[in-house]
Structure 1
């Protein structure tokens, strides 16, 4: 990344208002920093108020506000959208990033946590779009839905995560078809493993070690979150339909019809043998995941 002032002066995002969900940590915080470096003013939304405040304080003075809200709370997100309008103005960029994950065999995953993953990742993404769509229609803006390489290929031991990320991909395609003719761009971001709170716990859990061991390079590699965020924000600047956090994911997308069969074949050949039932589920991963274990309901505050 070049210097902040040069980047801000050159970017089409300079002076624009952007919203990032799941902005307290990891990729969301990194995307917020990359947006601010390009001169955008950013509204940070998430569950962890102290962490949101820390991220906001790290951005250029006057460039960020934050609000504690649960993306699965319809009323809370509608209020957050109104609040952003009052505090910053009408946003023209929305990044639906909030997401959680659990690793483990489907039969050993807690049903309530499985449901929570789908609620946060899929339903939360849709609620985010619903809350901010009037603003995006008004500004002819751009909505970026964070999906995953899990939307491109099945990953044994990540059933809820794969289901939810496949769901948000399909939702974003439909949303694009509906609002594209009205001037709103909709993009989907595909990411491999980035160095976030979720992936930093990989070595502590047998399920995550098993997943990584079954992945070929470069899918098994952890990637620094800053360059990934820069690629996403470059996609936002271009209003891209598809944004790839790692360049090699373009090739994966090109052969995606073959991947379910290849994963199933690998499982039959021993990549996921009959001892899966001995692996414990992880629970929601990372500090952000633990914050999302219980719905936040109407808990909203910010400044």
Structure 2
């Protein structure tokens, strides 16, 4: 999107059924862009699209399905035109001790957040090259300092940051700009019960007062739209996070020290009791992909 020019171009947002994705779609549409809403919850996507002031299309797609995303990209171009903005927002989170978590759940978080972002970029890059567009990768302050009990989520967000940084250099000669959005505490269903969850409560409780504030999805979307309009290299939500960047080498040590003190005071069963997927969207995805329980082992009769 050319700075200050809401001229009916096409934007694509993954994970658009709720939360930051939905709020971003609404703000893009208010700026005059036609919007493609991609996600797993088709009924919710349709409800959002039906309330927009500009032309929109909904495509039910799993971002971990590369072939399906390629089909979605073709569908967007046929219905709306080539995308000039792509927001890779789809993501899920899981919490709990690594050793107590299902391996399949750890893998699913990585697949959705990291592999899904790569699939999204690969599917829409030809259109972005055609339009000289802008790709915005949604990351997190989880990439700044890895928190215990959130190993899969932190690994995936550090991964998407590195992926987008590499992509940025590769695509600049093609006229495509790549931005990374660093989101902090955002009021979506992913952290809906923040004070009841020992993992999230610990992470938030040991931060300075300004860093504990939870920002609405609408406010975060406003920051994202400003970044999209500027084709920004980095988007900080909230903006003061930019002053944290120089401190990143020491943040893992600070996070680790605070977490050790907190975890030592917790009953051993509390983190394990809250192990699992965070948020309704993440739970819906996990239920759709959770492997069946293994068949019970039967000891063969002895001769």
Q: TM-score, normalised by structure 2?
A: 0.90
Matches within 5 A, 1:136-147: 136-147=128-139
- Structure 1 or 2, whichever has the larger Rg, is 2
**1:259–1:148 Cα change, 3 Å:** same
* CA offsets 1:197-238 (integer angstroms, 9 cap, x no match): 101122343332233223332222211111110110110111
Deviations 1:129-184 (A, max 9, x none): 00000000111100000000111122222111110000000000000111111100
Query: How far apart, in 1, do the equivalents of 2:173 and 2:262 lie?
Result: 45
User: d(CA) in 1 for partners of 2:10 and 2:92?
Assistant: 25
2:40 matched to which residue of 1?
A: 47
Aligned length, in residue pairs:
285
Q: Is the 8 A contact 1:96 1:144 kept in 2?
A: yes
| Range with greater deviation from structure 2 (224-233 or 15-24) | 224-233
In the alignment, the residues of structure 2 paired with residue 267 and residue 282 of structure 1 have an alpha-carbon distance, to the nearest angstrom, of 17
Q: Do structure 1's residue 233 and structure 2's residue 225 form an aligned pair?
A: yes
Query: Is the Cα–Cα contact under 8 Å of residues 156 and 211 in structure 1 kept in the other structure?
Result: no
1:219-260 deviation line (CA, Å, top 9, x unaligned): 222111111101101101110000011012111112111111
Gaps of 5+ in 1: 1-9, 297-303
Q: TM-score, normalised on structure 1?
A: 0.90
Runs of 4 or more consecutive aligned structure 1 residues displaced over 4 Å after TM superposition: 274-277
Question: Which residue matches 2:264?
Answer: 273
1:295, distance to aligned residue in structure 2 (A):
5.4
Aligned residue in 2 for 1:253 = 245
Matched, 1:59 2:52: yes
Q: How far off its partner does 1:275 sit?
A: 4.3
- Taking structure 1 as reference, are residues 264 and 94 closer, same or farther at Cα in structure 2, changes over 3 Å only? same
Question: Cα 1:239–1:276, aligned 2, differ >3 Å: closer, same or farther?
Answer: farther
Name the structure 2 match of 1:193.
Answer: 185
Counterpart mapping for 1:264-303 below 5 A: 264-268=256-260, 270-273=261-264, 275=266, 277-278=268-269, 279-280=271-272, 281-294=274-287
Give the whole-Å Cα distance in 2 for the aligned partners of 1:18 and 1:288: 22
TM-superposed CA distance for 1:276, in Å, is: 7.0
Partner in structure 1 of residue 79 of structure 2: 87
Unaligned stretches of 5+ in structure 2?
A: 290-303
Instruction: Say which SS state the counterpart of residue 49 (structure 2) adopts.
Output: helix
CA RMSD between the two structures: 1.6
1:239-292 superposed Cα distances (whole Å, 9 cap, x missing partner)? 000001101211111211111122223234x13327474212442111110121
Q: Distance in 1 between matches of 2:8 and 2:113?
A: 29
